[in-house]
Structure formats: C-alpha cells, structure tokens
Amino acid sequence: SSSESSSQVKPGADKEHAGYGTLVVTSEDGITKIMLNRPTRKNAISTQMYQEIILALKAASQDDSAITVLTGNGDFYCSGNDLTNVTDTPLGGIEEKAKNSTNLLRDFVASFIDFPKPLIAVVNGPAVGIAVTLLGLFDIVYASDRATFHTPFSHLGLSPEGCSSYTFPKIMGPTKATEMLTFGKKLTAREACAQGLVTEVFPDATFQKEVWTRLTAYAKLPSNVLRISKQVIRSMEKEKLHSVNVEESSIVQERFLSKESMNAVMNFLSKRAKL
Amino acid sequence: SSSESSSQVKPGADKEHAGYGTLVVTSEDGITKIMLNRPTRKNAISTQMYQEIILALKAASQDDSAITVLTGNGDFYCSGNDLTNVTDTPLGGIEEKAKNSTNLLRDFVASFIDFPKPLIAVVNGPAVGIAVTLLGLFDIVYASDRATFHTPFSHLGLSPEGCSSYTFPKIMGPTKATEMLTFGKKLTAREACAQGLVTEVFPDATFQKEVWTRLTAYAKLPSNVLRISKQVIRSMEKEKLHSVNVEESSIVQERFLSKESMNAVMNFLSKRAKL
Amino acid sequence: SSSESSSQVKPGADKEHAGYGTLVVTSEDGITKIMLNRPTRKNAISTQMYQEIILALKAASQDDSAITVLTGNGDFYCSGNDLTNVTDTPLGGIEEKAKNSTNLLRDFVASFIDFPKPLIAVVNGPAVGIAVTLLGLFDIVYASDRATFHTPFSHLGLSPEGCSSYTFPKIMGPTKATEMLTFGKKLTAREACAQGLVTEVFPDATFQKEVWTRLTAYAKLPSNVLRISKQVIRSMEKEKLHSVNVEESSIVQERFLSKESMNAVMNFLSKRAKL
C-alpha cells in the first residue's frame, strides 16, 4: 500500500530482505519477489534453499505486498531437487535421511498450498522436477519461450510429488498428465500453455518487460480483494491438497529407499560427474 | 413434441409467452428461447430481470421443449449485474439491500444449477460479470466472434460468483481461471473457446444461421433421452454446486458492504455518468 | 524384463497367447498388446469379445510386461457395442437380456478402472460408442489422423457409459463433453487432441512406426515405478469411478428397456441391413 511513491529507488537497493543465502528477496510496488539464486547450479534446490523458501513465503504472506512472485536468477528457472542432497548421508543413516528429506519436502509443498495471496511464477528458463510439479499450486504461471518443463521421475526410480498427481490430471487431463509425470515427456513452453499448465508464453527478448508491466498493474488492485478472491477460488480444495501431499510424500519416502531409485540416482550423478 | 408442423408460423407470433417485461420468451421447433431484452442498457440484469429469468427457467423446465436457449437482443449478450441495482437503496438501508441482493443472486444461480434440460447459451456479443460466470453451468455455449468475456470483480471490490470459483478452474485450469476471475483479464471468443469456456465460435455474419440450424437438429433428438443424458452428466455435482453457490453468495454479501467495494462501484458509476 | 534379447523373433510368432477367438494377444519387449480382431465387423464388441477383453486385461495385469496396449486390426479401431448383441434375445426374455448385458458392461468397465499398469490406446481408425467413452480411463491415447470419435447415444435412445459422464467433463469441460455425449457430435482426431481426450495425433502413414518406437522406449523404464506412478495418479478416484460405473450401468439398463431405445436400435439395424 506504500510503495508507489518510492518506485524511483534503484531496484533491489534498500528493498532487499536480508538473511537469505540461496535467495534474493525484494519488495517493491506491491510485489514481493523471491528469486532463486544459485545460478551456477541451475538453481537446484538444496536443503538450505528448501528451508529458506518456506521462510520467505511465510514472511511474504504477512508483509503488505499484494502479490508474490517466484523466479530464477540466470538461464534456468530451477533444475529441481539438488540430488546431492540425497547422497549427503547423515549420522542416522539412509533411512533417517529419507525421512528427513521427505518431511522437508512435505512441509515445503504445504507452504505453497497454504499461501494466502496470489502467487505468480515467472518461469525465465527450463524447469525440472519439483519446480514443475509445484506450478499446479500457483495462481498464474508466465513463461519465456525458452522455458521447458520436464519431470523425469520414473527415470530416477521416483514418483510424482508437489500435488501433481492431483493437479496435473485436473489441468491437462489424465493422459497428457501421465505422459509427463510417468513417462517423463518434456514439454516446450507452448505445449505447456496449450495444456493449461502455463497461463501465457512470451518471447524471451521481451519476457521480463512484458511480465513485470502486467504484474505491476495487477498489484495495484485492492490487495484485500485479491486475497479474498484467491481464498474463494482455492479454499475448497485446500484440505484435499494437504492429504494428497501427505500421501505423495510417504510414497516418495519409500521410493528413496528402493534399490531401483538408489541405482538410478547414483547412475545419474556419476554420469554428470564425467561431463 | 408438437412444433415441427407449425414451423411456418411467423417467428415469435403466437409463440411468444406473455407477461415478461425484460425478456422475450418464445417456443418453437422444440426450443424455448429466452432473450434478454434491454438492448439500450446492453441487457444489464436489473432486479426485475433476475426475477423474470428465474420464472422463465421454471416455465421452460416444465414445457414440452427439448432444449432451452438463453441469448441477448441487440449488440450485447449481457453486460452483467445492473450496478444501479446497488445504488437504489431501500427503506431497510444498505445492509438490508445487500442481504436482499445476494439472496436474489443465490436463488438466480440455483435456478441454473437445477435446470433439468440441456441449456444452451447463444452468446451474440460481449458478456460481462455474472453473464460470464454462469456459462460454467450451461451445457453448450456458442459464441459469435464478436463476443468477449470479462469479469472485472476485483476492480469493483467484489469476488467471483455464479459457481465460477469452482467451474472455471475445472474448465480452464486454476491459473487461467485466476487471471480472469481475480485479475479481470478479458478474453476474446477464440481464447474462451481454446480454454473450454466456449464450445464453438462462429463468424458473426453467419452466427445466427449456423447456430439455429444446428440447434433445430439437436432439438429433434428424443427429448426424454436428452433430459436423462444431462442428468447423468450433471447430477453428480449438483450438491457441490449448491454449496459453492451459498458460500460465494455469502462472501459477495460481505464484499458489498465493504468500503473497498462501495468506493469502487461509486467511482465506476460516476465515471460512466460523465461519458 | 525378459524380452529385449528376443526382439529378433518374428512378431507374434511364439509370443501369441492362445485361447482367444475375438482378440490377438501378444507380448514382446515389455509390452502386452491386445488387438481387437473382428475386422470384417469393424471390431464391434460382441458378448464374447467383452468377456475375452476382461480375461486378457486380467492376464496382462499379472504378466511381466511394463505396459499394456489396446488396438484394432484393420481400418477401424472399434465400432463399439455390437448391436446384434441386443436383438439376440435369450430364454429369459428382454428384461433378463438387459440385465445380463448391463452387468457384463459394468464388469467390463470395472476391469479398465482397476487395471494396475499404464494402459495405452493405439487408435488406428474410427472409434464409436464405448470404444470412445473408455478412453477416459486410459493412461495414454495415441491416434492416427484417420481416427474419429463418435458417441451417438441419444440417437439410439441410450445414455453415456464407460465413466464418460464423469471423465469427459473433467477432461474437456462440460460443454464440449455435452455436445459429444448428449448430442452425438463426431470429433476428428485433431479436435479430440485439442480437447484432451487424445494425447497426441500422428499422420496415418507413419502412425504405427512412430507410436511403437515411443512405446518400446517407455516400456524400458523400471516397471515397478511405472505401476507405482499410475497408482499415485489414479488411486484417488478409483472409488469414485466405480460408483459412477454402477450408476451409469443402471441407467443404461433402464434405457435398454425403453420404447424410445428399442425403436431407435431396430431402426438402425434395419437401415444397416438394407445397405
């Protein structure tokens, strides 16, 4: 409600929220922007980043912004779960690790389900895994035509999460959802838009300009009514989404401990190491 | 079951149902047509028109027509709720007014949820507000390529109704539904068709001819089976739709009484008065 | 898990499962293929074929294949229920016949709802009636551009089955579903794909080659994880689908016994006999 008068301030200057190691969080013009900031790792989500996103969403839900945006720094939007999370085994051993990881995953997804204001994804480049599945919980998804959408769960011996087993069939029908979630078909931005996962696609050259112009206009709508409108649209299935999240997380936990998945993940990491 | 033999009668001659002030209701060739008839007000829905549509739907549900059509007279399909309804304050004051208006709105929407035969919208021009949201309760929606679809609820401090908070995310996915319902994005007929809100778009020049030819053929199917087929497809979510309607109406009632909405509506009306 | 080494064996040679009169069932490369084999009857589903498909799905659910494919031999995918089933009246008379037919229909549909592995339709040509409605229960649907999709239930005095009254509105929105299921609008393959019923359309000339290349790759994914991924995506609505199936079947049974339907079916068969 305050920020229009200060829009001459240099972007990100005194508006940056301190204390994040993997994110850059700024507030301006009624918009809180959470930017994933591990560009050299294609913004892969480390354990620390999971925790920081949960905190940043909590803070954004309570600040005076009208809308909240998630985006990525650099060429990628987000390459999904950082698989080195998985190999970094703690004292409790692999079972403790699987339990902790999936509890964190579950809490992370829950913080998207519960987010009370319009939540907008600005997908600046390729999205992989949980960065894709979570899009079903966003209120608007804008994508650059450079973006791609890929969920190779089966290739890693894993099963779908982020409530995608529920949201994707609703959004794109069960057969297109299955080819993506079960068989790992990668979609272009245009395909993802035709299937309803993406709201609108923009040419990469004008992506940032067009998207932020539109979002700045949207953020000037009465913030109270935006929150209520989201609540009317989303509240009906909140309970359902939480139960889907719990169920999916519990199956992911079993998969983590399966030989099928352990072998597939090790294979993936050793291939990547050789590049 | 009777009307084929009399199709040579001049349209609307002895077929017109008497007693409506804001509608023209006719029955012919197995089709009951309810035409909104306030063309100089862009077919805005006044309190009287709400009441008359409820009555016309009740009559159509009991007549011997196979299908029922809603359309608009003139250039507009329907410009939505007549906002002068809101400003015309009764003896009981503004709270009484808000309560009466939302009760009428709730009963109006309920009469669409309960309508037992195929209900077809022939969208001859722009549609606004509740004329758009209700389309999620129709069984077929044909649109002229002149039609547009616009729900500027947030701009007026209001929240979605007509069961759209439930039907729109189902039809077009949550993110396209949100850009429309929460942020007021206006759709062209082609966009609305690509998103599943409209069944088919026709060039305006041939719209009436193509649509009525098709509907006349459809109305010759066994009327009993049409009613049963609709019941099979729709009965499962009737209860859900009624509860959504009650919930949405109650939130609209609160919004009506909010300063945010009162100011926005007054602003809108005074701007319009200056044109 | 066994078949890659033997892919040089002539197709269908020692891989063919014995004992089917209306189907050809083969297993190879991790794929069990169930081919409808009454090409001179456009693969219409006779009572025997209903029973054999139930058996073939049961066997496929227990064999070591990763995925299961349903397709048709010849120019048609499947022309739907063989209407001579209906006229072939048994000892118990027409009511006994209607009861037996709809019980078989219900069990047939149930075997698709319960099928535990990815189930893929390779739609090689026109599909009619229950061959169309069942597609809502498949996990992937590939179609030749020669395929069409037609459900003329109302024209035969019948009501939708195969869970289509539930799956089609979810997949394509209620108005496109109604124009198809209630008014019998025939879709091209491209239209069915745009509406989400078909996953992808291929030119007929390269259809078989492109589809089988893709499916052979998909079948190499860990078969355990494919089964689990399907379960995560589909288990949530299994109970709902079974109750829809029971309800739809009971209404179809009533329709079978209605004069409207009996006359319409007799008309259809006598017209066809004259061709």
Per-position pLDDT tens, chain B of length 275: 333 333 333 444 447 888 999 999 999 999 999 999 999 999 999 999 999 999 999 999 999 999 999 999 999 999 999 988 766 666 678 888 889 999 999 999 999 999 999 999 999 999 999 999 999 999 999 999 999 999 999 999 999 999 999 999 999 999 999 999 999 999 999 999 999 999 999 999 999 999 999 999 999 998 899 999 999 999 889 999 999 999 999 999 999 888 888 888 888 888 877 76
Closest chain C residue to the Cα of B198, Cα to Cα: C175
The predicted structure's pLDDT at residue B5: 37
Task: Measure the CA–CA gap between A25 and A36, rounded to whole angstroms.
Answer: 9
The predicted structure's pLDDT at residue B1: 36
The predicted structure's pLDDT at residue B221: 94
Establish if C236 touches chain A: CB-CB under 8 angstroms: yes
Instruction: State the smallest CA–CA distance between residue C202 and chain A in angstroms.
Output: 15
Which are the contacts of B268, defined by CB distance < 8 A and separation ≥ 6?
B83, B155, B156
Cβ pair A70, A122 in contact under 8 A: yes
Task: Measure the CA–CA gap between A109 and A54, rounded to whole angstroms.
Answer: 9
Task: Measure the CA–CA gap between A163 and A138, rounded to whole angstroms.
Answer: 12
- With CA atoms as reference, report the closest residue to A242 among A118, A132, A113: A113
Chain CA centroid to CA A206, Å: 23
Task: Measure the CA–CA gap between B90 and B97, rounded to whole angstroms.
Answer: 6
Instruction: State the smallest CA–CA distance between residue B255 and chain C in angstroms.
Output: 29
The predicted structure's pLDDT at residue B13: 43
Task: Measure the CA–CA gap between B26 and B30, rounded to whole angstroms.
Answer: 11
Closest chain C residue to the Cα of A173, Cα to Cα: C171
Residue of B136, B200, B222 with shortest CB distance to C157: B222
- Lateral strand order in the sheet of C119-123: C16-17, C23-28, C31-36, C67-72, C119-123, C140-144, C200-202
Instruction: State the smallest CA–CA distance between residue A228 and chain B in angstroms.
Output: 7
Residue of A165, A172, A178 with shortest CB distance to C140: A178
C198 chain-A contacts, CB cut-off 8 A:
175
Instruction: State the smallest CA–CA distance between residue B175 and chain A in angstroms.
Output: 5
A197 chain-B contacts, CB cut-off 8 A:
173, 175
Give Cα separations from C155 to B62, B233, C44, C158 (angstroms).
23, 17, 18, 7
Cβ pair C226, C117 in contact under 8 A: yes
Q: What is the mean pLDDT of chain A?
A: 91
Calculate what percentage of chain C has a pLDDT beyond 90.
78
C160 chain-B contacts, CB cut-off 8 A:
229, 232-233
Instruction: State the smallest CA–CA distance between residue A154 and chain C in angstroms.
Output: 6
Whether C229 sits inside 8 A of A255 (CB atoms) is no
Whether C182 sits inside 8 A of B222 (CB atoms) is no
Residue of C118, C225, C232 with shortest CB distance to A157: C225
Whether A159 sits inside 8 A of C228 (CB atoms) is yes
pLDDT band at C95 (very low <50, low <70, confident <90, very high): confident
The predicted structure's pLDDT at residue B10: 43
Task: Measure the CA–CA gap between A149 and A125, rounded to whole angstroms.
Answer: 9
- Lateral strand order in the sheet of C148-150: C127-128, C148-150, C187-188
Residue C2 CB neighbour total at 10 angstroms: 10
Whole-model pTM?
0.91
Closest chain B residue to the Cα of C185, Cα to Cα: B218
The predicted structure's pLDDT at residue B201: 98
Per-residue pLDDT tens for C147-173? 999 999 999 999 999 999 999 999 999
Whether C222 sits inside 8 A of A157 (CB atoms) is yes
Establish if A228 touches chain B: CB-CB under 8 angstroms: yes
How big, in percent rounded to 5, are the helix, strand and coil portions of chain A?
55, 15, 30
The predicted structure's pLDDT at residue C264: 84
Instruction: State the smallest CA–CA distance between residue C76 and chain A in angstroms.
Output: 22
Which of A102-132 are b and which e, b meaning 16 or more Cβ less than 10 Å from the residue's Cβ? bebbbebbbbbbebbbbbbbbbbbbbbbbbb
Chain CA centroid to CA A98, Å: 21
Reply yes or no on whether the pLDDT at C12 is more than 50: no
Q: What average pLDDT values come out for chain A (275 residues) when binned by 10 residues?
A: 38 71 97 98 97 98 97 98 75 83 96 98 98 98 98 94 97 96 97 96 98 97 93 94 97 90 84 73
Q: Is B79 helix (H, G, I), strand (E, B) or coil?
A: coil
Q: Is B257 helix (H, G, I), strand (E, B) or coil?
A: coil
Establish if B183 touches chain A: CB-CB under 8 angstroms: yes
Q: Return the H-helix or E-strand segment holding B246.
A: helix B238-256
Whether C181 sits inside 8 A of B233 (CB atoms) is yes
pLDDT band at C92 (very low <50, low <70, confident <90, very high): confident
Establish if C136 touches chain A: CB-CB under 8 angstroms: yes
